[in-house]
Structure formats: C-alpha cells, structure tokens
Amino acid sequence: MQIIADTLRQPTIPAQARAIIADPELAARAGETARRFAWYITVSARGGKVRQRHRPANLIEGPR
C-alpha cells in the first residue's frame, strides 16, 4: 500500500506544468523544451488546441 500512497502524493502532470510556468527559477532550470511542453500541457488542460504556427515555405526567387 505504500506505493499507492506515494503515487497519490505526487502532483499531477498539469500541476507540475503549472509550477514550471509560474516559478521563474524552476523554469530556468527546466530548459527550453520542458518549458514548451509545460505550456502545451497547460493549454491542453484548459481545453485549448495547440497548433503549429503556419509559416510559408522558404521560396527561392529567381535572379534579380
């Protein structure tokens, strides 16, 4: 039963993501990728959709 009790005491993933976003020191230690995932998790937990921003392709123009 100790394993179940330890599991219940751990914060949920959305709670951990909110902690990374809310604490600047923790965010600095987490790194860029972890901060990005934290934002995705937080937005998803609120019911939003995470979408990739559209960028036009790199176009090579002809000679000028």
User: Would you say 45 and 19 are in contact if contact means Cβ atoms under 8 Å apart?
Assistant: no
Q: What is the pLDDT of residue 14?
A: 87
Q: How many CB atoms lie within 10 A of CB 20?
A: 20
The domain limits of the chain are 10-45
pLDDT digit string, tens, across residues 2-61: 555 665 677 888 888 999 999 999 999 988 999 999 998 888 887 877 666 666 666 666
The string of DSSP letters for the chain reads -HHHHHHHHSPPHHHHHHHHHH-HHHHHHH-HHHHHHHHHHHHHHTT----PPP----------
Does this model's pTM top 0.75?
no
Residue 22 has φ and ψ, to the nearest 5°, of -80, -25
Look at residue 62 and tell me whether its pLDDT is greater than 60: no
